[in-house]
Amino acid sequence: MLSYFSTRKPTPSHQKTSVPLLRTFVNATRQKEMHSKQTQRKTQNTTFNLGVKKKKVQKNPIPQQRKPKVSQKQTTTKTPTFQVLTLSPSTEILLEGIKNGDRRMLSKAITLVESELERDHKQATNLLTRIIEERRELAQIDPKSVDTFRVGITGPPGTGKSTFVETLGTNLCNEGHKVAVIAIDPSSRKTGGSVLGDRSRMVNLGAHENSFIRPSPSRGIAGGLSVHTSDQILLCEHAGYTHIIVETVGVGQTEVSVADVTDMFMLLISPGGGDVLQGIKKGVVEYADMIVINKCDGDMIQRGKMIQYEYKNAIQLLGHQMGDWIPPVLTASSLMKIGIQDVWKKALEFKSHSQGNGSFETRRATKRKNEFWKKLYEFLKMGLHRSEPTMDLIHKLEPMVEKGIISSRKASSDIVNQIFQYM
């Protein structure tokens, strides 16, 4: 043992001091590397690698060369994608028949649209949506292929509206135009039924191959129209009918709903339809684009000229929605076929005038928006009757209103609060 310790060489002093220095250097290097990694993680905003790549947040503006790619991604994600509507086989047959001009299929399609059954509502909606898409594609290819003219005719009962429509429509059919007539018939408030006898007054027009006549019930809708009149017009236009004539019920001065679905609003009055005071009343007259004094034949010719003069003065006081258009006041006789051509010339003049100043498409867009709100209210009413909790509350409050316990305003407010729960 002594020999072992005696033979072991002593460790130099510089080697004894280098070992702790080396350890200190290594530890300091490791701490520096760990600190640099932590700072690098904070600056790069990275997390533990779990197999999912996290996008880096760039605070600086996007370079100019990368902007188109980012905007393209945003547009593709935000742009709504329309699914191809699937129609039932029977509805597909109706659509093909409409495009081929089959009047029988067109009548069935209108019946489908007018149906209040829940099973027909979805297919009717899909059918109209498909037609709108097809007409938009046709408008991009050939705008003239979707060029139509919608004329609304109204007036008090007994002014000869049906006879006037038949004479005007027959003249247009003889000239080669395709004419569709939508005749709104009043519905009974007691039974809900309608006579639908306007077609019997248009025998000559109904027999023409270029015509289509569809009587429709008003179903209690105020304003002289049906709730589905705009849908009927769309179906007729897709069937190839370029001139759509809408004949209203004929209820009086508040009948202005036809102006919301047509391009031109024509008011028919009779020579014995009242004095000039009726002409200046705020109502149907101020919405009219043209006034026609019908039945000006025989002994009523002079009376018709007097009424014509009085209404011309009244129009000067009322003005028109298009400031640069003065509604003409004309005389005609549907029975004697006098003045009908002059009426149609003025109608075409109104169309070209409105197309020239850009109000034609503007008015159609506004009318589509108004029609949207009308349909919204109608479908809200339908949904109201299909909701069991709401109907239970209605049946509970209705007797209380009937007995005078609460007001109709309070009952209506309670129902609305239950439906929307925010008022």
- In a domain, residue 217? The reply is yes
Does the pTM surpass 0.85? The reply is no
Label residues 199-212 b or e (16+ Cβ within 10 Å = b).
bebbeebbebebbb
Domain boundary among the residues 147, 162, 192 is at 147
Same domain, 249 and 302: yes
H or E stretch covering 183: strand 179-185
- In a domain, residue 53? The reply is no
- In a domain, residue 56? The reply is no
Q: What CATH code is carried by the domain that includes residue 116? A: 1.20.5.170
342, 308 Cβ separation under 8 angstroms: no
One digit per residue, pLDDT tens: the chain, 423 residues?
444 444 455 545 444 445 555 565 556 666 666 666 666 555 554 444 444 444 454 555 545 445 444 444 444 444 444 455 677 888 899 999 999 999 999 999 999 998 888 788 888 999 999 999 999 999 999 888 889 999 999 888 888 888 999 999 999 999 999 999 998 876 544 444 444 556 677 888 989 999 999 988 766 555 446 778 889 999 999 999 999 999 887 655 555 677 788 999 998 988 875 554 454 455 677 788 999 999 998 888 888 898 888 888 888 777 777 778 889 999 999 989 999 999 999 999 999 999 998 889 888 998 889 888 888 888 888 888 888 888 889 999 999 999 999 999 999 988 888 887 754
Same domain, 307 and 411: no
Question: Around Cβ 291, how many Cβ atoms within 10 Å?
Answer: 24
Torsion angle (degrees, nearest 10) of CA 351, 357, 358, 360: -20
User: What are the φ/ψ torsions at residue 70 (nearest 5 degrees)?
Assistant: -65, -40
- In a domain, residue 275? The reply is yes
Distance in angstroms (rounded) separating the CA atoms of residues 411 and 198 = 41
Distance in angstroms (rounded) separating the CA atoms of residues 343 and 172 = 12
H or E stretch covering 180: strand 179-185
Same domain, 130 and 182: no
Distance in angstroms (rounded) separating the CA atoms of residues 250 and 219 = 14
Residues in the chain: 423
- In a domain, residue 6? The reply is no
Same domain, 280 and 299: yes
Residue 148: predicted pLDDT = 93
Same domain, 221 and 111: no
Same domain, 311 and 223: yes
- In a domain, residue 54? The reply is no
Residue 75: predicted pLDDT = 44
Q: Which residue has the tokens 């790549």?
A: 53
- In a domain, residue 377? The reply is no
Same domain, 15 and 134: no
Distance in angstroms (rounded) separating the CA atoms of residues 270 and 268 = 7
Number of domains observed in the structure of the chain? 4
Same domain, 184 and 215: yes
Residue 397: predicted pLDDT = 93
- In a domain, residue 50? The reply is no
- Which amino acid makes up residue 99? K
Give me the domain span that covers residue 18. 11-44
Burial group, residue 323, by CB count within 10 angstroms (0-12, 13-18, 19+): exposed
